Structure 1
Amino acid sequence: MSVKQDHRSDGCSDWADHYWWSSDGVRLHARIYAGPPAAGDAPPILCLPGLARNARDFEQLAPHLAQYRRVIAVEFRGRGESAYTKDPMTYVPLTYVQDVIALLDDLKVDRFATVGTSLGGLVSMLLAATQPGRLVGAVLNDVGPELQAAGLERIRDYIGTGGSQPTWIHAARAFGELNAAVYPGFEIHDWLRLTKRTHRLTAEGRIVTDYDKQIAAPLRVPNGGDAGVDLWPAYRALGGIPLLVLRGELSDILARDAAARMTAELPGARLAEVPGVGHAPTMDEPEALAAIDAWAADLPAA
């Protein structure tokens, strides 16, 4: 494990880079935002990204949450500065859960909250089920125990594909064409911002997606990407803690009926729908931020 101080290029937020090792020898990375001194030993918030995302997905949300308490933006194996694995079949939720537990042990964190987008939300549910009593709050961003087949098929079609682009503008336009139905209101500056979160510059000066294309391997097996098990018990493990379900109005992953059932199953759960976006809200939207602020206010202080 090693730690160094790094800085946001806009000078607005600081974080510490943290590296730790998985049980199978993969070097993993997270950004740690210190939080206010008044937060003391309050349980930190773990930000868990979606399938093809990384810690930069939270470059606005993490410093916003850090006004309340320490924030840890995780990069799953094969994404961002986390190393790629030799065995692509370890790119599965249960392995990510084990990696997160190794991080918590490394940082000596007992109790924590999570903000999980898509895959990150599935990991949150599995953490609740396998680490009883440790999770003190959760935000599930456009994900739940039931996933729509159409959305899963769309993800299978594009994940791990695609080449490189010569400039950031070219990459933003290509990314915008691929995801036009997800964020129909985006302009080119929005796509450029999102592209810089999800892509990287190679040593050859090309722009490529910032993940190991082999993360798609488990999705290619029969029923890959489908849960294969009943995730409702894992979801119910979130009962009794502050819980926010965010849903994109246009989502093809989390159906409106499924989101309604989620709130009915756990009466303490709040549901907030983010207008005009699909899977998944960036959580920079005013509606998402307002709902997350209300959720954070209910987290335990210690």
Structure 2
Amino acid sequence: MSYRLHRYRSADGRLELAARDYRADDNGAPALLLMHGLTRNSADFEPLAEHLAGAYRLIVPDQRGRGLSQWDSDASNYRPDIYVQDMLALLGELGIAQFGVIGTSMGGLMAMVMAAMQPERVSAMVLNDIGPVLEAEGIARIQGYVSPGKEMANWDEAAQRIAISNAPAFPHYGPGDWLAFAQRTCIQNPNGTISFAYDPAIAESMNGENPSTVPPDLWPLWDGLQSIPTLVIRGGISDLLSAQTVAEMGRRHSGPFDAVEIPHVGHAPILNEPAALDAILPFLAEQVH
């Protein structure tokens, strides 16, 4: 799946950031902004992009400190409100006035913030395993693996390292799945070793009882998003987003709202699972034009 790599300046002007721009054949195709989770990058959406790129213009950024985007020397800038400003700068530079958004985990938090700030621009949201309440068990697990540790000798070792951290969320994965996972989340260094494709300082944003990546009490924010058509994807065995939270999200949302669970998957679904595609594709076709 081909894309153009777009380079742009961060909202504060300090960093060079990168985004994939999958341009649909039709120049008038609606735009979708796809935003990854805490330790991921734009490659995280490659499996989903195969199903969307023909009908939509996909803008898939590497948030600061990830993928091909520059690392920030000030680790306190690794937080959702800063990322949101970067996204608005990116969309402004590309001349995109209205867009749908798909956000995985941290990217979903960003989606809610963007929709609250500029609801007239966000045509619809797909929130991937994220909501106004994050379970303590899931936060603790993320805190346990976010520090990337030492370099890995080769891709096999990288796949094994990722499997150790993520096996509870993907119990059906085999060696080939873990290798593909590693190749989306890691980079090969000039000396042949493998590293995770993010700044280790990102771990600081998950430190302590009140991590800066996890804003407190998001129900007031959610309650202000009732005009935004929303689809919530939940991993059926997720330890971060509970079924009870999803039900309460639906109860409080008066506009178009749907939710689906992806069986036998934890945090967070890759979004190419059949149940995910069966929900996402018709939702976008109806809500994003």
> Normalising by the residue count of structure 1, what TM-score does the alignment of the two structures yield?
0.91
Does the Cα contact within 8 Å between 2:78 and 2:213 map onto a contact in 1?
A: no
Note closer, same or farther for the CA distance 1:43–1:236 as it changes in structure 2 (3 Å cut).
farther
1:140 to 113, 127, 134: 127
Tell me the distance in 2 between the aligned counterparts of 1:73 and 1:60: 13
Residue 198 of structure 2 corresponds to 211
Residue 85 of structure 2 corresponds to 98
Q: Does 1:235 align with 2:222?
A: yes
Q: Does 1:28 align with 2:10?
A: no
Tell me the distance in 2 between the aligned counterparts of 1:156 and 1:225: 12
Tell me the distance in 1 between the aligned counterparts of 2:209 and 2:226: 32
Counterparts in 2 of 1:145-164, with a 5 A limit?
145-164=132-151
Counterparts in 2 of 1:103-252, with a 5 A limit?
103-225=90-212, 227-252=214-239
* Offset at residue 179 of structure 1 (A): 1.3
Q: Counterpart amino acid of 2:279?
A: A
SS of the aligned residue for 2:148 comes to: coil
Q: Counterpart amino acid of 1:106?
A: E
Tell me the distance in 2 between the aligned counterparts of 1:225 and 1:97: 14
Q: Does 1:66 align with 2:61?
A: no
Residue 5 of structure 2 corresponds to 17
Which ranges of structure 1 fall in alignment gaps of 5 or more residues? 1-12
SS of the aligned residue for 2:8 comes to: strand
Q: Counterpart amino acid of 2:287?
A: L
* Offset at residue 108 of structure 1 (A): 1.3
Tell me the distance in 2 between the aligned counterparts of 1:228 and 1:51: 14
Residue 3 of structure 1 corresponds to none
Count of residues paired in the alignment: 287
Q: Give the root-mean-square deviation of aligned CA atoms.
A: 1.4
Does the Cα contact within 8 Å between 1:128 and 1:234 map onto a contact in 2?
A: no
Which ranges of structure 2 fall in alignment gaps of 5 or more residues? none
* Offset at residue 135 of structure 1 (A): 0.4
Does the Cα contact within 8 Å between 1:198 and 1:209 map onto a contact in 2?
A: yes
Residue 73 of structure 2 corresponds to 86
Q: Does 1:271 align with 2:271?
A: no
- Greater mean deviation of Cα atoms: 260-269 or 137-146: 260-269
* Offset at residue 28 of structure 1 (A): 0.6
Deviations 1:28-79 (A, max 9, x none): 1110111131xx4344000000000001001121232122211111110000
Does the Cα contact within 8 Å between 2:29 and 2:55 map onto a contact in 1?
A: no
Q: Counterpart amino acid of 1:31?
A: R
Does the Cα contact within 8 Å between 1:250 and 1:278 map onto a contact in 2?
A: yes
Deviations 1:184-226 (A, max 9, x none): 1100001011110011101111111110010111222451157
- Greater mean deviation of Cα atoms: 275-284 or 217-226: 217-226
Q: Counterpart amino acid of 1:23?
A: A
* Offset at residue 240 of structure 1 (A): 2.6
Deviations 1:227-269 (A, max 9, x none): 4432123223432333110000110100110011111111421
Query: Identity of counterpart residues, as a percentage?
Result: 40
